[in-house]
Structure 1
Amino acid sequence: MKTILAFAGSNSSASINHELVKYTVSQVPKFRIQLLRMSEMPFPMYSSDTEKNDGYKNSLIELHEDIKKAAGLIISVNEHNGNPSAYFKNVIDWLSRVDRKFLADKKIFLMSTSQNERGGQSSLSTVKNMLPRFGADIIDTFSLPFFNTNFSLEEGEITDVDLKTEHLRTLNDFLDQL
């Protein structure tokens, strides 16, 4: 059975992007799901000095291996001031030091959500353009605007019918490619 690795690009324990990822993987049949909670994976800020003096953390090597083993990735990126979070960029920086093409031929379903009407689209666009530099194949994207209005934490699902339909369509496009 093929494995999908799924995580949010946020290290917040209350990440709405993690909630979107959890919902997304609940809609995936016939795949083994490896759902990561990035708030449990602290990484020091990347610097060449830290890399030279301390090397790579075991959690970084394990994440790199998990990516390599996965048939595809589901990632939801958060947005800070119109950009991906420093945490997510830092994880990418570390992974690219282990292996510049750490996403070689990896099919990715890329998502984002936020509390506003744009749903993290600026961050989503930035990451969509960034990840192919490391070998990623972005299959599809999905943005969920107004998280508190369009997602029920109690039910753990998208509540807006049109957005729910669009999410399932883009998810199935991704799954069909695996």
Structure 2
Amino acid sequence: MKKIIAFGASSSKDSINKQLATYASGQFENASVEVLDLNDYEMPIFSTDKETATGIPALATDFYAKLGTADLLVISFAEHNGAYSTAFKNIFDWTSRIHAKTFQEKQTLILATSPGPRGGSSVLEIAKNRFPFQGAVIKGSFSLPSFNENFDAKNGIINTDLNNQLLEIINSIEL
């Protein structure tokens, strides 16, 4: 059975991006899913001075190792001021110090959502352009606009057209 590692790139305890990543990863057949919580990887703010003084935190090594166990990564990005959340960026910065190919040539589905009509499209574009340099093999991307209008905690994406768009992407990914 193939393994999916999924997470919302946010530290919010009620992260809508974690909900979207969980939903999307659950749509794959014959795969086990592990959903990570970025709060389990909280580390000091990255700086080369801290790295020199104390080394790379064990949590960064743990996160990197966890990514290495996946056949597919499903990441949904929160958009903070048009870019990654600080929580994700910090984990990303520390983990990239372990290996420049942070995502270890893993197949990756990138997602984003927000309460607004753009659905985190700015951060999704940043990830789409940056992640291949960091070792992600992007297999698809999807933005869910207006999360509160298009997503239900019990039923997932309730807008049929948007749900079909995501399912089309999911069905195109071979695990």
TM-score of the superposed pair, with normalisation by structure 2: 0.95
SS in 1 for 2:81: coil
How many residue pairs are counted as aligned between the two chains?
A: 175
Question: Paired residue for 2:159?
Answer: 160
| C-alpha RMSD of the superposition | 1.2
Question: Paired residue for 1:79?
Answer: 79
Q: CA deviation at 1:70?
A: 1.1
- Residues 1:170 and 2:162 aligned together: no
Q: Distance in 2 between matches of 1:88 and 1:156?
A: 27
SS in 2 for 1:14: coil
Q: Distance in 1 between matches of 2:59 and 2:32?
A: 21
Q: CA deviation at 1:44?
A: 1.5
User: CA offsets, 1:99-128, max 9 Å, x none?
Assistant: 111223211000000011110000000011
Contact 2:38/2:87 (<8 A) preserved: no
Q: Identify unmatched segments of 5+ residues in structure 2.
A: none
Q: Distance in 1 between matches of 2:99 and 2:41?
A: 19
SS in 1 for 2:115: coil
Question: Paired residue for 1:14?
Answer: 14
Question: Paired residue for 1:145?
Answer: 145
Q: Distance in 2 between matches of 1:165 and 1:156?
A: 14
Q: CA deviation at 1:156?
A: 4.4
User: CA offsets, 1:113-148, max 9 Å, x none?
Assistant: 001111000000001111111111111001000000
Question: Paired residue for 2:96?
Answer: 96
Contact 1:109/1:139 (<8 A) preserved: yes
Contact 1:11/1:40 (<8 A) preserved: no
Q: CA deviation at 1:25?
A: 2.1
- Following TM superposition, the consecutive aligned residue runs of length 4 or more in structure 1 with deviations greater than 3 angstroms are none
Q: Distance in 2 between matches of 1:23 and 1:128?
A: 20
Contact 2:107/2:138 (<8 A) preserved: yes
Q: Distance in 2 between matches of 1:29 and 1:71?
A: 13
Aligned residue type for 1:166 = Q
SS in 2 for 1:73: strand
Matching of residues 23-172 of structure 1 within 5 Å: 23-153=23-153, 155-172=154-171
Contact 1:7/1:18 (<8 A) preserved: yes
Q: Distance in 2 between matches of 1:29 and 1:152?
A: 21
SS in 2 for 1:64: helix
